[in-house]
Amino acid sequence: MLRCVMLAKWFSLSDPQLEENLKDRLSFRRFAGLRSRQERPMRRPSWFPARLREAGLDKTLFTLANKHLEASGVAW
């Protein structure tokens, strides 16, 4: 679920747009850990990003993820 939140944040996607991209884009599916075309993406509860913010974890997690991607040569 965290990976889905990250994709939505990075690409400025609403929940319906994220779901559509998870259906259509192999790169999104791989990043989110969805293995087969038949596997349905888990619907992201609207409270999840809010809880990350409340706990102060949103910026920390995104910073760590971006550092990891930069170190891997994947950052854009």
Q: What is the pLDDT of residues 25-74, one digit of tens each?
A: 889 888 888 876 655 555 655 667 777 778 888 888 888 888 888 888 87
The answer to whether position 30 is within a domain reads: yes
The answer to whether position 29 is within a domain reads: yes
Q: Which domain holds residue 16?
A: 2-71
The answer to whether position 62 is within a domain reads: yes
Is residue 11 within 8 A of residue 31, CB to CB? The reply is no
Rounded to two decimals, the pTM is 0.56
The answer to whether position 32 is within a domain reads: yes
Count how many domains the chain has: 1
Pair of tokens at residue 38: 């038949």
The answer to whether position 58 is within a domain reads: yes
The answer to whether position 76 is within a domain reads: no
